[in-house]
């Protein structure tokens, strides 16, 4: 361990989260594109600790694999049946070798807005003051539910009392325990062996370590967070939503400070994993998720949701749902388009109104303007696909590809029955069903010559409005003749 760098960070994620009323573990609920636990591990790993430990118990079969996905180097430790944060910490530190010394940071997996910077400040204060314990605190107007910080006459932290164990006088204290501590490792090991379960919840409280330090004459420090949101935990769905809104507000303010125009922040949601370039415009009703990246001068929205989508410079994406797609520079997409995984739209291309694409590579300058489905297809540069076209890629057993060459002009209401290839420069007539390859430069038609059955309506549907209208028109034409 070096100065301002912890020997270990212990993340306590063993709780049941019963107030969430959810089949999913509390720490696996998400805000801003990461799980609660993911946010905490991201902040903790930013400290570059020698060891990162996550203590689990409730729904371990779900939480432990998630830790492995997020941070394969993290050590997963199981808490036993003895309840309480003190026991969770004891299990975590016992997983480390006995010669680990220096600063041990303890935090929680359900406090998602904590930052590496604030945790680093806590560690710096702890080391500079040579404390045995340093607690991160917050001043709350409504401290209900939190452990209260009790200070002595000199202002030092003397104890932390839990809400359920506090007297009426103690409950009036507004400085609260965040649950985030920096400890001297040797002191922590010894103190954890001295705490019991003689309290209202019959749990081993980690906060009892503070009282032990005071009894032993060891220094206990407190760093009051200037940003109370970084100490807010999630216990209910309402708290999850509140923290999600606050995280989103901060993300949008950060992007606006870097030159992104957000027309209506109250209806715009951007995950923390999203990347935006300067001069991007986000119109109302936009949601950007996952690994989405938007390049300069692109305009997104209104009413657009993109997940893992790359958007090129100067593109326009309007009222569109996209997942796993690539949109090139200066492209036009929407309104009411659906871009499914594997869609790649080349520079200056167009995917228009009520068009769905899947595993489709649409080259530079090519256009699919209206009312079409393009699946498992490639469309060459400069080609135009007529309105109402279906790429029939599925034969009931397997998917098959369609290839449309460069500078092709296909008619409206075409069906391409895959596998089929349309040669460069070819055209197709309106209503054509293409079942065979079309040579370059050819015109493909599959409809017969138009023919008429005269007086069909009058004979087959006499007395109907259509028959009456037809008869009246014939009479008018005969009269004019």
Residue 275 has a pLDDT of 98
**3-state secondary structure (DSSP) of residue 325:** coil
216 and 313 part of one domain: no
161 and 25 part of one domain: yes
Q: Is residue 452 part of a domain?
A: no
Give buried/exposed letters for 361-390 (b at 16+ CB in 10 A, else e). Answer: bbbbbbbbbebbbbbbbbbbbbbbbbbbbb
Q: DSSP class of residue 107?
A: E
**CA 169 to CA 166: how far, in whole Å?**
8
Q: DSSP class of residue 411?
A: P
How is 154-197 classified by DSSP, letter by letter? Answer: TS-EEEEE-GGG--HHHHT--EEEEEEEEEEHHHHHHHHTT---
Q: Is residue 83 part of a domain?
A: yes
Structure tokens at 381: 């540069």
Q: DSSP class of residue 23?
A: S
Q: Is residue 456 part of a domain?
A: no
Q: How far is CA 277 from the centre of its chain?
A: 19
Residue 404, C-beta contacts closer than 8 angstroms, at least 6 positions apart: 377, 378, 379, 380, 383, 385, 410, 416, 422
pLDDT tens digits for range 144-190? 888 899 988 878 888 889 888 899 999 999 999 998 999 999 999 99
Q: Divide the 481 residues of the chain into consecutive groups of 10 and give the mean pLDDT of each group.
A: 79 93 96 98 96 96 97 96 94 88 96 96 95 94 89 84 90 93 96 88 89 91 93 94 98 98 98 98 98 98 98 98 98 98 98 98 98 98 98 95 97 97 97 96 91 91 93 86 72
208 and 307 part of one domain: no
How is 257-312 classified by DSSP, letter by letter? Answer: HTT-EES-GGG-EE-TT-EE-TT-EE-TTEEEETT-EE-TT-EE-SSEEEES-EE-
The CATH number of the domain holding residue 104 is: 3.90.550.10
114 and 223 part of one domain: yes
Q: How far is CA 113 from the centre of its chain?
A: 15
Q: Is residue 242 part of a domain?
A: no
| Residue linked to tokens 């998917």 | 399
**CA 108 to CA 423: how far, in whole Å?**
61
378 and 290 part of one domain: yes
* β-bridge partners, 139: 175
Residue 1 has a pLDDT of 44
| Residue linked to tokens 């922040």 | 265
* H helices present in 71-180, as ranges: 85-94, 116-128, 168-171
Residue 52, C-beta contacts closer than 8 angstroms, at least 6 positions apart: 8, 9, 11, 41, 44, 45, 71, 73, 74, 75
**3-state secondary structure (DSSP) of residue 376:** strand
181 and 321 part of one domain: no
Q: Is residue 104 part of a domain?
A: yes
R_g of the chain, CA atoms, integer Å: 33
* CA 351 vs CA 299, 316, 329, 363: distances in Å: 15, 11, 13, 11
387 and 267 part of one domain: yes
Q: Would residue 370 show up in a list of annotated catalytic residues for this protein?
A: yes
97 and 227 part of one domain: yes
Q: How far is CA 5 from the centre of its chain?
A: 30
Number of domains in the chain: 2
219 and 300 part of one domain: no
Q: Is residue 451 part of a domain?
A: no
Residue 189 has a pLDDT of 94
Evaluated on CA atoms 95, 43, 83, 141, the torsion sign reads positive
273 and 421 part of one domain: yes
Q: Spell out where 291-436 has E strands.
A: 293-294, 299-300, 304-307, 310-311, 316-317, 320-323, 326-327, 332-333, 337-339, 344-345, 350-353, 356-362, 367-370, 373-379, 390-392, 402-404, 415-417, 420-422, 427-428, 433-434
**CA 113 to CA 1: how far, in whole Å?**
25
173 and 281 part of one domain: no
Q: 69 near 308, Cβ under 8 Å? A: no
* β-bridge partners, 358: 375
The CATH number of the domain holding residue 410 is: 2.160.10.10
**CA 305 to CA 282: how far, in whole Å?**
11
Give residue 90's domain range. 8-231
Residue 8 has a pLDDT of 96
**3-state secondary structure (DSSP) of residue 343:** coil
Q: Is residue 405 part of a domain?
A: yes
Per the residue annotation, which of 370, 400, 407, 452 is the catalytic one?
A: 370
**CA 27 to CA 40: how far, in whole Å?**
10
Residue 75 has a pLDDT of 96
Q: Is residue 238 part of a domain?
A: no
- Give me the numbers of helices (H) and strands (E) for the chain, helices first please: 10, 37
pLDDT tens digits for range 128-142? 999 999 999 999 888
210 and 269 part of one domain: no
How is 420-471 classified by DSSP, letter by letter? Answer: EEE-TT-EE-TT-EE-S-B-TT-EE---------TTHHHHHSTTSHHHHHHH
The β-bridge relationship of strands 373-379 and 356-362 is parallel
Q: How many residues does the chain have?
A: 481
Q: DSSP class of residue 102?
A: S
| Residue linked to tokens 């103190």 | 191
Q: pTM score, two decimals? A: 0.91
**CA 330 to CA 310: how far, in whole Å?**
13
Residue 145 has a pLDDT of 83
**CA 7 to CA 92: how far, in whole Å?**
13
């Amino acid at each position: 361990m070096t100065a301002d760098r912890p020997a270990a960070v212990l993340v306590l994620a063993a709780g049941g989260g019963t107030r969430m009323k959810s089949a999913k573990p509390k720490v696996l609920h998400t805000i801003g594109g990461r799980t609660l636990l993911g946010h905490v591990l991201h902040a903790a790993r930013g400290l570059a600790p020698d060891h990162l430990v996550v203590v689990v118990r409730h729904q371990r079969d779900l939480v432990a694999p998630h830790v492995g996905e997020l941070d394969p180097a993290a050590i997963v430790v199981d808490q036993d049946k003895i309840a309480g944060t003190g026991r969770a910490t004891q299990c975590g530190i016992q997983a480390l070798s006995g010669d680990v010394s220096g600063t041990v940071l303890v935090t929680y997996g359900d406090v998602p807005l904590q930052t590496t910077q604030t945790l680093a400040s806590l560690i710096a204060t702890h080391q500079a003051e040579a404390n045995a314990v340093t607690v991160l605190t917050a001043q709350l107007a409504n401290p209900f539910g939190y452990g209260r910080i009790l200070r002595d006459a000199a202002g030092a932290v003397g104890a932390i009392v839990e809400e359920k164990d506090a007297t009426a006088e103690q409950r009036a204290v507004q400085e609260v325990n965040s649950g985030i501590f920096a400890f001297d490792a040797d002191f922590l090991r010894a103190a954890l062996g001295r705490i019991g379960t003689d309290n209202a919840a019959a749990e081993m409280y980690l906060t009892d370590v503070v009282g032990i330090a005071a009894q032993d004459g060891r220094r206990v420090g407190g760093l009051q967070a200037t940003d109370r949101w970084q100490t807010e935990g999630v216990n209910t769905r309402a708290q999850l939503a509140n923290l999600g809104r606050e995280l989103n507000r901060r993300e949008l303010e950060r992007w606006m400070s870097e030159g992104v125009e957000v027309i209506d922040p109250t209806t715009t949601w951007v995950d923390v994993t999203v990347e935006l370039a300067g001069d991007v415009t986000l119109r109302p009703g936009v949601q950007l998720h996952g690994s989405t990246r938007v390049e300069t001068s692109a305009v997104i929205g209104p009413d657009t949701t993109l997940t893992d989508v790359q958007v090129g410079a100067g593109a326009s994406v309007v009222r569109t749902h996209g997942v796993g797609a690539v949109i090139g520079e200066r492209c036009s997409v929407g309104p009411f388009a659906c871009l499914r995984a594997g869609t790649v739209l080349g520079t200056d291309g167009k995917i228009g109104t009520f068009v769905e694409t899947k595993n489709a590579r649409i080259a530079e300058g090519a256009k699919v303007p209206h009312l079409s489905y393009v699946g498992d297809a490639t469309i060459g540069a400069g080609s135009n696909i007529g309105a109402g076209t279906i790429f029939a890629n599925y034969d009931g057993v397997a998917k098959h590809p369609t290839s449309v060459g460069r500078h092709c002009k296909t008619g409206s209401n075409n069906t391409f029955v895959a596998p089929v290839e349309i040669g460069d420069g070819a055209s197709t007539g309106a209503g054509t069903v293409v079942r065979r390859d079309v040579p370059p430069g050819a015109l493909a038609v599959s409809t017969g010559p138009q023919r008429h059955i005269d007086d069909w309506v009058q004979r087959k549907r006499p007395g109907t409005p259509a028959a009456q209208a037809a008869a009246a028109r014939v009479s008018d034409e005969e009269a004019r003749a």
